[in-house]
Amino acid sequence: MRGGPPSQGGRLLRILLLRVCPLSPDPGQPIMLRHAEPPVTDEVVGRIRRADWAHGLRGCLTWGIPVALLVISPERYFVILWPTLLTFMGVACLLNARRCGRVHCYFTGPLFLLLAGLGLLYGLGLLPLGARGWSTLSVALVIGSIMLICVPEWLLGRYRSSSNPSKPSR
């Protein structure tokens, strides 16, 4: 059986794997996945963490201070603070995603930018969210942030594998 033609089960497995991932289409070849990535070493993890703005003190400063300002500021300043701070946070997320491949930043960056735009439109009276519009936006910010920080990294891992942590942009 080893040297003979592939069995029916082997053909079915090959067909299934062709649909799921790249492999050699030659049925005479053993089933081996192409483009397998080398294991991640501690050195690579260290480089990624150093490039990751969402990690450590830099993350607390970049996202913690704007969140604290949103929490403590009076509502009459929301029309200025929401768009400004959420745009800053969204752009920082997208830059961090590009820099180190942090998965949740690909999702939270657009969320923050969307909420910045909605906050501006609501603050200018162009978006009718009712009397409790800021509360609605705040709930969307909190729940959306928690979901988009936790779920993508739970499903996809903390960092994108195609990012290049050895050469972070500065």
Tell me what pLDDT residue 100 has: 83
Token readout for 61 is 């400063």
Q: What is the mean pLDDT of residues 71-92?
A: 94
Quick one: which of 169, 168, 156, 57 has its CA closest to 106? 156
Token readout for 9 is 């089960």
At 111-148, the pLDDT tens digits run 999 999 999 999 999 999 999 999 999 999 999 999 99
Token readout for 20 is 């799921």
CA pair distance 106, 104, nearest whole angstrom: 5
Spans of all domains in the chain: 1-36, 42-156
| Burial class of residue 159 in the structure, from the number of CB atoms within 10 Å of its CB (0-12 exposed, 13-18 middle, 19+ buried) | buried
Q: Which residues contact 31 (CB under 8 A, 6 or more apart)?
A: 10, 13, 14, 17, 23, 24
Residue 132: what are its φ and ψ, rounded to 5°? -105, 35
At 86-103, the pLDDT tens digits run 999 999 989 988 888 888
3-state secondary structure of 163: coil
Label residue 157 left, alpha or beta by phi (over 0 means left) and psi (-120 to 50 means alpha).
left
